[in-house]
């Protein structure tokens, strides 16, 4: 029988670590609030920071600084031409070799070929993906061979309460739209600014 040692099934501690949040909208800010319970240093990168973020104990930094200083990086950005393959080889090169990347936003914000390279070359310690490119991930994807990668099938919102809240939000958007009011849960509120 092989002796596995005292570190079996162990991993890095969140307590006191630096958390980098890419995309600091509603979800990114909620993650920052939860990180306070672990006494984490929170830094974030967002091209259009919300002014309400000033009340949160988080510091805005350029993306290269976030990548080089974070122990954990969590992605909560939307997908656009600017965020497509936002994480590519160049960005993985900037990360700590002990860092862990988490993506619950959209699969294509990470170049899968670059992630394969980063994991294989040990440029990062590991990753956790709730979304992939393509989705669903093909059964022959090289990503499925890595022991330092966790992939879930786009189920980050999979709780009874969250799914119920999602349905209510969708219904509230429909009612507002039918009444000619701005959508309370608009994914791209800049459309209202452009219409003025």
Question: How many C-alpha atoms does 172 have within 13 Å on its Cβ side?
Answer: 11
Same domain flag for 101 and 173: no
Predicted pLDDT at 2: 65
Cα angle for residues 115, 94, 14 (degrees, 5° grid): 80
This prediction has a pTM of 0.85
Instruction: Give the residue numbers spanning the domain of 183.
Output: 160-195
Same domain flag for 33 and 90: yes
Q: Assess whether 193 carries a catalytic annotation.
A: no
Q: Is residue 97 part of a domain?
A: yes
Among candidate residues 41, 85, 89, 154, the one labeled active-site is 154
Q: How many separate domains does the chain show?
A: 2
Same domain flag for 144 and 164: no
Q: Assess whether 154 carries a catalytic annotation.
A: yes
Same domain flag for 176 and 97: no
Q: Is residue 32 part of a domain?
A: yes
Same domain flag for 166 and 125: no
Pair 67, 12: CB distance under 8 Å: no
Q: Assess whether 90 carries a catalytic annotation.
A: no
Read off φ and ψ for residue 174, nearest 5 degrees.
Answer: -60, -45
Same domain flag for 51 and 132: yes
Query: Mean pLDDT by 10-residue block, N- to C-terminus, for the chain (196 residues)?
Result: 74 95 94 96 89 80 98 96 97 98 97 98 98 95 96 88 94 96 88 76
Same domain flag for 142 and 187: no
Q: Is residue 6 part of a domain?
A: no
Residue 111's CATH number: 3.40.50.720
Among candidate residues 135, 163, 165, 190, the one labeled active-site is 135
Q: Is residue 13 part of a domain?
A: no
């Amino acid at each position: 029988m092989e002796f596995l040692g005292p570190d079996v099934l162990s991993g890095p501690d969140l307590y006191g670590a630096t958390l980098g949040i890419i995309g600091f909208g509603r979800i990114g800010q909620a993650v920052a609030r939860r990180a306070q319970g672990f006494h984490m240093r929170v830094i974030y990168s967002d091209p259009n920071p919300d002014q309400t973020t000033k009340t949160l104990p988080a510091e805005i930094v350029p993306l290269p600084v976030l990548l080089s200083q974070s122990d954990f990086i969590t992605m909560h950005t939307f997908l656009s031409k600017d965020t497509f393959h936002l994480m590519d080889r160049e960005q993985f090169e900037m990360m700590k070799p002990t860092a862990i990347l988490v993506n619950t936003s959209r699969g294509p914000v990470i170049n899968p070929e670059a992630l394969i390279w980063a994991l294989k070359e040990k440029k990062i310690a590991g990753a956790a993906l709730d979304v992939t490119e393509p989705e669903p991930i093909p059964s022959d994807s090289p990503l499925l061979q890595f022991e330092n990668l966790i992939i879930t099938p786009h189920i980050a919102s999979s709780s009874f309460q969250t799914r119920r809240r999602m349905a209510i939000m969708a219904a509230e958007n429909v009612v507002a739209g039918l009444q000619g009011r701005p959508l309370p849960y608009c994914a791209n509120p800049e459309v209202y600014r452009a219409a003025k």
